[in-house]
C-alpha cells in the first residue's frame, strides 16, 4: 500500500475568498484535503505555471494587492 503524504508543517494562511473557493474545488475534484492540494500545487509550481503569463499575472496581482492594502 502506498505511503500517505505526510504533512509536516502547519502554517496559518490568509487567502482571498476566490483563492479558497478554487482550492476547495481542486480538493473536491481530486479527493485531496485542502492542505494536500496546496502542497501539490506548490511542489509542482514550476511545471504548472506558464512562463509567458507568470510575470504579467504577478505584476497585476501585486498592483491589486497594493490597492487593497491602501
Domain ranges across the chain? 17-69
Torsion of CA 30, 62, 53, 33, to 10 degrees: -10
DSSP string computed for 42-56: HHTHHHHS-HHHHHH
Rounded Cα–Cα distance for residues 25 and 57 (Å): 21
Q: What is the residue-averaged pLDDT of the chain? A: 89
Q: What is the pLDDT of residue 64?
A: 92
The rounded percent of the chain whose pLDDT value lies above 70 is 93
pTM beyond cutoff 0.95 = no
CB neighbours of 33 closer than 8 A, spacing ≥ 6?
27
Residue 52 has pLDDT above 50, yes or no: yes
Amino acid at each position: 500500500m502506498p505511503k500517505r503524504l505526510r504533512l509536516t508543517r502547519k502554517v496559518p494562511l490568509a487567502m482571498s475568498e476566490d483563492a479558497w473557493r478554487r482550492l476547495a474545488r481542486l480538493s473536491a475534484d481530486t479527493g485531496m484535503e485542502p492542505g494536500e492540494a496546496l502542497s501539490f500545487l506548490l511542489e509542482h509550481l514550476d511545471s504548472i505555471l506558464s512562463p509567458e503569463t507568470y510575470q504579467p499575472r504577478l505584476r497585476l496581482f501585486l498592483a491589486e494587492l497594493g490597492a487593497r492594502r491602501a
